[in-house]
Chains A and B, each alone.
Chain A
Amino acid sequence: MATEAPALTVAEASLRYDRFQALNAVSFSARRGELVTLLGPSGCGKTTLLRAIAGFIPLDSGRIEIDGRDMAGLSPERRDTAMCFQSYALFPHLTVADNIGFGLRQKRLSSAEIADRVSAVAAQVRLSAQLERLPAQLSGGQQQRVALARAMAVRPGVMLFDEPLSNLDAKLRDQVRAEIRALQRAQGFTAVYVTHDQAEALAMSDLVVVMRAGVVEQMGTPEDIYRRPANRFVADFIGTANILAGRVMDTDKANGLYRVETPMGMATVRAEAPPVASHVYLCWRPEDARILSSTEGEVAAENVYRLQVRSRTYLGNLVDLEVGRIDGEGETWRIQTHGTSAVMQGETVAIEIAPERFRFLSEAVT
């Protein structure tokens, strides 16, 4: 599994295009065999950073190291990286076999060795039967696998993925995503994966780096990022989050409990760390709420809220409810419950949110 020496280090990477700060002191590192995802909305700098790692774009300042070697001034062809492009970038005039062997030929390996490696990699990505075809004769999923095989064949120190699944349909995307992750685990290569799809990031990554406007907003394991978002942006960008502006009324530091006044009502929050201010944002996820039965709902209990269902969306395995205060005032929140739920629009429901399901965000309400 992963060792301690970082295979890739990005330190204080900054880049500016005229007045636009594309990257602002971005730092992270990837251990050998790790898959790190750069996640963020369009224009956040994730692809720029990936291209800087590949050497296509020079940094204004900062450092990129691969296996401890500073990449400053090294052209892309001399870096130990291989990229899977969003467009696949397959050479249309070459067969699948020639595409996969393209980088190997450059390394001046013998024909026999190239053939061996090409057939081995093709077998790993299940393309052995398509070796003599041209890229145009392949499906999108197969083309993606050729791009992956071409990158894998040169056995790079770091594999770079630039939104590789964005051109595939939803079902194929899930399939190729699982294949990439399985191959990455089996081969143990270090990878940096750029995506704006949070589900993809959560499903694939060892480490997620959430970016916005050229800045790292939060970095952590998928669980960390999802369960303990640092701020409103991360909470909202990763999955669906209900964000409340609250006022801390009472504190039981010994037990890590806080009484917070929110637009939904009083909330008891269990937190490991105290809130950053008395007026603070807190969040909870739609699946954190439990809809109580009518008898349960009658019993006044902590963190139980009576809310009205404003809209109901059936999603197959889930029912998505938009709920708000009974008086019809103020904001609304999202709840997700199982697909067989009979709760209908206009009904009043009692929901319960466990204290540990609330999370203080590190942002004070200003």
Chain B
Amino acid sequence: MNARRTLTPYLLLIPGLAPILVLMTLVIGMALTRSVTWTDVSGNVSLSLEAWRTILGQDQFWRAFFYSARIGTLGALISVVLAYPVALWLRRPFPGSGLVSSLIKAPILVHGLVAAFLYVNFVSFQGFLNVALVGLGFAARPIRMQNDPYAIGVVILQVWKNMPLAYLILSGSVSAVSDDLLNAARDLGVGTLGRLRRVVLPLTLRSLQAALILIFIGAAGDYTFQAVAGPTNINSMAQFMVRMEVDNGLQGWSLSAVVAVMLMGLSLFGAIALAGLVQVLVKRVGR
């Protein structure tokens, strides 16, 4: 009877968990399997680590790896850092707060590709920004901002696209911090920053981590923003993965599968590292 009672909840989870596990296993399994196969010039397929050796030995791959890690980290951190005060500001409704909240969420409705083209249009040589800068006398001639080598444009697009997501995730948990808790802290002598450090941040840590993880994974695996607005001298992991497949004939799938597995690894460990870092930081400042 006891065993049945213990097992029942787990059995009830099967219909939900099973498809998730199957789909995840399929994707990861296929990528892993493909990454350890090698097709020779005559079309024979064999088990081999040649694809791994080839990819891990490429300087371009590591540049793409660290580039994606950097874009993911910057995109996630800046989005959350900007969304957090907005969520705090809109924590309690006030006249117009609904409109502000809607405007913040608007980028969710715009497709990333459209946003990237709009951005490129805005900063291009003949774009609105350059016309304005020259017209207002801030610049003698148009400045080259499109596909900038520091990927500032990509980070801006990532933040523009992901800040609403961060806001959505954070606003729920920030609103859930009760006024009584904040008043209790005030009453015990804690000022505004102290309340943020010692009460709000620790209580919203989980959603902070969730926002960082989701944004990091999306930004690290970005293709669209990089392809349209990113620097031309470096690839993102997704871009590099596509390039490997397109440029390498029979071995293309194996090489791109290695990049895909590394991208999944980056997403997993990068997200864990980011979440862990934030946890340590919040605990430290919350003391």
Q: Please give the residue numbers on chain A whose beta carbons come within 8 Å of chain B beta carbons, in ascending order.
A: 54-56, 75-79, 81-83, 85-87, 89-93, 102-103, 105-107, 150, 154
Contacts and interface: CB of A to CB of B under 8 A. Distances in A.
Interface residues of B, number: 18
Interface stretch (B13-21, B95-103, B176-184, B258-266): B176-184
Contacts of B189: 77-78, 103, 106-107, 154
Interface string B177-196: 01011011111111100100
Contacts, number: 61
B188 A56 contact: no
A78 B188 CA distance: 9
A85 B194 contact: no
Interface string B100-142: 0000000000000000000000000000000000000000000
Contacts of B183: 54, 56, 76, 83, 85, 89
A154 B188 CA distance: 7
B199 interface: yes
Contact of B194 (A54, A106, A154): A106
Nearest to A107: B189
A92 B203 contact: yes
B177 to A, nearest CB: 10
A83 B199 CA distance: 17
A56 B181 CA distance: 13
Contacts of B187: 54, 76-77, 79, 81-83
B252 interface: no
Nearest to B183: A56
Given A83-B183, A85-B184, 14 more contacts: A77-B186, A77-B188, A77-B189, A77-B191, A81-B187, A91-B184, A91-B199, A91-B203, A102-B188, A105-B287, A106-B189, A106-B194, A107-B189, A154-B189
Contacts of A102: 185, 188, 190, 198
Most buried by A among B188, B190, B191, B203: B188
Contacts of B178: 87, 89
Interface in B168-227: 178, 180-181, 183-191, 194, 198-199, 202-203
A55 B178 CA distance: 17
A84 to B, nearest CB: 9
B190 to A, nearest CB: 5
14 contacts: A56-B183, A76-B187, A77-B186, A77-B187, A77-B188, A77-B190, A79-B187, A82-B187, A83-B187, A91-B184, A91-B185, A93-B203, A102-B185, A106-B194
Nearest to B287: A105
